[in-house]
Amino acid sequence: MGFSCLVLVFVVQQLFGQSSAYLLIHGEPTNYVSAVGDPGMTNPNVRVALEAWNFCNEVGFEVPNVGSPRWADCTDLYCSSDSVYLGGGLVNNGSQCRVLHKVNETDNRLGAGDKFPIMGFESYADPDLFAKEKELYLGSLCEVQESPNPWQFWMIMVKNGNFDKNTTLCPENGKKISKIVTDRNFPCFGEGCMNQPVVYHKYSMLGGNQKVYLTGEFNGTYDLDANLGENVGNNSFFSVSWRKNTSTGSWIFSHRLTTSTKYPWLMLYLRADATEGFNGGYHYNGRGMLKKLPESPNFMVRLTLDIKLGGGPNSQFYLLDIGSCWKNNGEPCDGDVLTDVTRYSEMIINPETTSWCRPDNLVSCPPYHISPTGEIIYRNETDQFPYSAYHLYCSPGNAKYLEKPYDICDPYSNPQSQELVQILPHPEWAVHGYPEKKGDGWIGDRRTWELDVGALSSRLYFYQKKKKKKKKKKKKKKDTTEISRLMQINSYLFIA
């Protein structure tokens, strides 16, 4: 079976941001191959999907009349004359072009139990199973044939961080349990708090003035009783819209996320998922944008990020979030949720985020740090360990040989055990193109980042069963993932 992997291009929490991005893999330093289906994001056609996850990355229950929480906007632009194309997906005269939606409202509204309109896709009454099949179906409508591998869409993911401990919807470190007993706190206003959102879709259409391009939007709320007009009021709200930059032709994705009293912890990501195989934190085969799986140390990510508004000290914002999956013995994941482990690494750039890893709190630090020259510095070497380079580290719940002191990552917010390395701007990471200090790249400091993600990832500690010590991290597919749940740990912070 495939393994996992998706790159999160960036993640937004409770704030507004815009970005455009791509990801490169290199063999030789000057010899780049794009891993994403649309290098430089210059394609005129739209390939965007949206998925919604409950606390443990499943569906649980669909919202009546909304369908299964998988939607797509896959839109092609056809122009009658080549002379109108300006490059980068821009055209100078939209009246010579027509717009074709490859996914229509009937497709987007499919819900558990519905028959798929074409052969080859199985319907399920179980909303979790139906959603993963719907993603494959939408992928088939959106697929762009390209040699050697096809690709499907960018994936927007929204996740509701509410968790009702009275239910058995979520397993514990991958194990199905009949009752949840934990003293961890999670937000939940009462029965039904783990609902999926209502989603509105502005199908891509022609926009722009002198230069014309496709533009569209998904938005929605978790507050099912909200009557959203133009005015969001005090309701939860998320929105992702896309349009072209009229000078570069690159896609600009604009994100907005707002929590509410009932939904104090929400997550919004834009992801480049693998086109095949499991994505980090998700135990079903998915669809995406990455035709090749990036492997450390040879991959770079280039993206422009312009943050408009922050969400306060209790919100995180990832410059980049990577989610991947491998077992504690180093083998690739195979869908066995008891032994698979999702690994996340995230660079948080909200300057209000503090370091939980401190000399007096080693439990939130990785056992050691690897310096740029490869030197290993243990967390108890207090005059050398760069505590402020880490927000927190936590260990997988199914690890058997953990070094004390340790903290187990939240056992409920992924279908399997997870491990999390959250880092902060610091000179230790700046050598790879990452922010050097708090505030770098934050509001008013729009930047184009060229991140040597592969090199940095090779320096992050991830748990591996001791025993026969394999040669250092052979296949650290740490590439990517969706990180999402990393915030689980902070969940309680979101309750104002």
**Residues that bind ligand NAG in the complex, under the rule CB under 6 A:** 93, 95-96, 104-106, 117, 164, 166, 188, 190-191, 200, 202, 217, 219, 228, 230, 232-234, 239, 245, 247-248, 252, 378, 380, 403
Distance CA 86, CA 218 (A): 27
Q: Which is nearer to ligand NAG, 230 or 360 (CB)?
A: 230
Amino acid at 442: W
Whole-number minimum distance, CB 217 to ligand NAG, in Å?
Answer: 5
Whole-number minimum distance, CB 81 to ligand NAG, in Å?
Answer: 8
The b-or-e profile of 10-36 (16+ CB within 10 A means b, else e) is bbbbbbbbbbbbbbbbbeeeeebeebb
Whole-number minimum distance, CB 101 to ligand NAG, in Å?
Answer: 9
Distance CA 218, CA 230 (A): 14
The helix/strand/coil state of 281 is: coil
Whole-number minimum distance, CB 152 to ligand NAG, in Å?
Answer: 17
Number of H helices, E strands in the chain: 4, 22
Amino acid at 427: P
Amino acid at 478: K
Whole-number minimum distance, CB 346 to ligand NAG, in Å?
Answer: 24
Distance CA 474, CA 480 (A): 16
Q: Which is nearer to ligand NAG, 3 or 387 (CB)?
A: 387
Distance CA 456, CA 370 (A): 10
Whole-number minimum distance, CB 379 to ligand NAG, in Å?
Answer: 7
Phi, psi of 451 (to 5 degrees): -100, 130
* Residues 6+ away with beta carbon under 8 Å from 382: 359
Q: Burial, 443: exposed, middle or buried (Cβ in 10 Å; 0-12, 13-18, 19+)?
A: middle
Q: Which is nearer to ligand NAG, 106 or 149 (CB)?
A: 106
Distance CA 373, CA 168 (A): 47
Residue facing ligand NAG at closest CB distance: 202
Whole-number minimum distance, CB 489 to ligand NAG, in Å?
Answer: 20
Q: If you write DSSP's letter for every residue of 412-476 in order, what string do you get? A: SSSSSEEEEEEE---HHHHTTT---STTTTSTT--EEEEE-HHHHHTTS------SS--STTTT-
Q: Which is nearer to ligand NAG, 240 or 486 (CB)?
A: 240
Distance CA 108, CA 112 (A): 12
Q: Which is nearer to ligand NAG, 97 or 322 (CB)?
A: 97
Q: Which is nearer to ligand NAG, 149 or 185 (CB)?
A: 185
Distance CA 57, CA 69 (A): 11
Whole-number minimum distance, CB 85 to ligand NAG, in Å?
Answer: 13
Q: Which is nearer to ligand NAG, 45 or 108 (CB)?
A: 108
Q: Which is nearer to ligand NAG, 333 or 460 (CB)?
A: 460
Whole-number minimum distance, CB 6 to ligand NAG, in Å?
Answer: 25
Q: Which is nearer to ligand NAG, 252 or 300 (CB)?
A: 252
Whole-number minimum distance, CB 440 to ligand NAG, in Å?
Answer: 18
Whole-number minimum distance, CB 388 to ligand NAG, in Å?
Answer: 19
Q: Burial, 492: exposed, middle or buried (Cβ in 10 Å; 0-12, 13-18, 19+)?
A: middle
Cβ–Cβ under 8 Å, residues 306 and 250: no
Q: Which is nearer to ligand NAG, 182 or 234 (CB)?
A: 234
Q: Which is nearer to ligand NAG, 93 or 123 (CB)?
A: 93
The helix/strand/coil state of 8 is: strand
- Total Cβ atoms within 10 A of residue 129: 17
Distance CA 162, CA 52 (A): 13
Distance CA 468, CA 461 (A): 18
Distance CA 18, CA 12 (A): 10
